[in-house]
Amino acid sequence: MNGGNEKSQLIDNIIDSFERSCAKGAEYYREAAEEGDPAAQNAYGWCFIVGNGVNKDFYEAVRWFRSAAKQGNMRAQYNLAMCYEEGHGIGVNLEKAFEWHMKAALQGDDRAQLHVGWSYQVGNGVKKNKKEAFAWLKKSAEQGNPQALSDLGYCYFNGIGVKKDKVAGLECYKQGAAKGSAAAAYNIGCCYRHGDGVARDKQKAVEWYENAASLGDTSAMLSLGRMFESGDGKDLNKSFMWYKKALDCGEALAELILSKKKFKNVLNGKTD
């Protein structure tokens, strides 16, 4: 009758073993980091970001990232850039973020290349330049970065930094979706829903929106809610379900939509 206690003790033992292992790993990283090894410095800095074997401390993380980044460590350069971009352990400085993203991007980091592309798109830490934005998104996409593939597809569809090419755009979306990009799957759904670059096909739109929704995309959930709310195939129960999922994922707009009388009726079992 003490199975529950035994299971609890086993879990405690596993956690204790894991924590001791993390602490030991952090100690190894610290020793190598203090000897000047840049890879170890970056790894030790990351320990402070996630609290792996040490207490979380963004200031310490930045200190070790900076030391490794100055030695040319690509991963540390990206991590330091993100600290500047998001204000972790240091004040937000978009110019510095761009500087370090660029250093990592030039070494081939696809995540940094994506951020450089975004920076050029909106002018974060650098003057806006649509062609440069496209070029860096393309570099990241060519390495298979899912978000970059989705963003590159959007550029092709809308002629941002490149001549409009919806065939190329759709191909980028499909590649991004295949690699797990919710945004790319959502964009394909929009293409089929509105007949943009492909023949209009409601069923395919629903399928792609469901794909994106399964990956947590609330825009896809709202789109599914709208599609089932009106038009052919109207189904308020399904519409309610998708709006509710969006709400559960933190989408504020869904709360406003669900306040409509017809959805209150669905909740109360009245679907006339």
pLDDT tens by residue, 5-18: 554 444 344 334 44
Q: Could you report the per-residue pLDDT of 57-100, keeping only the tens digit for each?
A: 999 999 999 999 999 999 999 999 999 999 999 999 999 999 99
* pLDDT the model gives residue 161: 97
DSSP states of the chain as a string? --HHHHHHHHHHHHHHHHHHHHHHHHHHHHHHHHTT-HHHHHHHHHHHHHTSSS---HHHHHHHHHHHHHTT-HHHHHHHHHHHHHTSSS---HHHHHHHHHHHHHTT-HHHHHHHHHHHHHTSSS---HHHHHHHHHHHHHTT-HHHHHHHHHHHHHTSSS---HHHHHHHHHHHHHTT-HHHHHHHHHHHHHTSSS---HHHHHHHHHHHHHTT-HHHHHHHHHHHHSSTT--HHHHHHHHHHHHHTT-HHHHHHTTSHHHHHHHTT---
User: Of all residues in the chain, what percent carry a pLDDT higher than 90?
Assistant: 81
- Residue 268 above 80 pLDDT? no
How far is it, in rounded angstroms, from Cα 166 to Cα 171? 8
Q: Which two tokens stand for residue 249?
A: 């994922």
pTM, entire model: 0.85
Backbone angles phi, psi at 79, to 5 degrees: -65, -40
Backbone angles phi, psi at 114, to 5 degrees: -60, -45
Confidence of residue 230 (pLDDT cuts 50, 70, 90): confident
Side-chain-side CA neighbours of 219 within 13 Å: the count stands at: 11
Cβ distance 183 to 150 under 8 Å? Answer: yes
The count of other CB atoms within 10 Å of the CB of residue 230 is 10
Q: Could you report the per-residue pLDDT of 179-205, keeping only the tens digit for each?
A: 999 999 999 999 999 999 999 999 999
Q: Which two tokens stand for residue 143?
A: 């390495």
* pLDDT the model gives residue 171: 97
* Closest by Cα among 116, 64, 40 to 85: 116
The count of other CB atoms within 10 Å of the CB of residue 67 is 19
Confidence of residue 270 (pLDDT cuts 50, 70, 90): low
Confidence of residue 261 (pLDDT cuts 50, 70, 90): confident
* Closest by Cα among 114, 123, 127, 122 to 82: 114
How far is it, in rounded angstroms, from Cα 42 to Cα 32? 11
- Residue 1 above 50 pLDDT? no
Whole-number average pLDDT of the chain? 90
* pLDDT the model gives residue 89: 95
- Residue 119 above 50 pLDDT? yes
